[in-house]
């Protein structure tokens, strides 16, 4: 099982996440999948310069043992915060959509949004000149 290290697990998580993002229609599940994709990036960054039996990068450094690279761990902190912000914000927006349409189905929301936009436009156009004049004006 030596191949099952952080890097390969990150790859598997990334694949699962993107598949779910494409294949599942439910927005909340899509959001979970997005979280999975983001975590796979974090896991990859953490594990790429790490080997087993490395020492913790805290001073004073133990002699004779290689020390894990501290920089990726510092970087990952910012990545985690960013991903948290993205998930939280998109959850708020999904809640706004759900309140409006009472559905988390991506296709249904998409259709409803498009229909609403079309009626909005036709409302704006109503009351102005008839269609034939518009044709004339375009020419």
How many residues appear in the chain? 139
CA 10 to mean position of chain CA atoms: 15
Euclidean distance between CA atoms 94 and 121, whole angstroms: 24
Q: How far is the CB of 81 from other proteins (least distance, A)?
A: 9
CA distance 72 to 81: 14
Residue 30 burial (10 A CB sphere; 0-12, 13-18, 19+):
buried
Minimum CB separation of residue 74 from other proteins in Å reads 9
In the bound state with other proteins, the residue whose beta carbon lies nearer, of 61 and 74, is: 74
Q: Which residues bind other proteins (CB under 8 A)?
A: 10, 14, 18, 21-22, 30-31, 34, 37-38, 40-42, 44-45, 48-49, 71-72, 75, 78-79, 82-83, 85-86, 89-90, 93-94, 96-97, 100, 106, 109-110, 112-114, 116-117, 121, 124-125, 128-129, 133-134, 137-139
CB of 55 to other proteins, least distance (A): 18
């Amino acid at each position: 099982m030596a191949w099952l290290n952080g890097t390969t697990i990150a790859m598997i998580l990334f694949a699962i996440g993107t598949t779910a993002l494409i294949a599942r229609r439910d927005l909340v599940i899509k959001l979970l999948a997005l979280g999975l994709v983001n975590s796979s990036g974090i896991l990859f960054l953490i594990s790429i310069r790490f080997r087993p039996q490395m020492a913790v990068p805290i001073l004073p450094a133990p002699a004779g043992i290689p020390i894990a690279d501290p920089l990726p761990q510092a970087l990952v902190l910012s990545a985690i915060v960013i991903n948290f912000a993205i998930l939280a914000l998109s959850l708020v927006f999904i809640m706004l959509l759900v309140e409006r349409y009472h559905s988390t189905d991506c296709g249904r929301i998409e259709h409803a949004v498009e229909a609403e936009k079309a009626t909005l436009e036709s409302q704006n156009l109503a009351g102005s000149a008839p269609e034939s004049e518009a044709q004339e004006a375009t020419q």
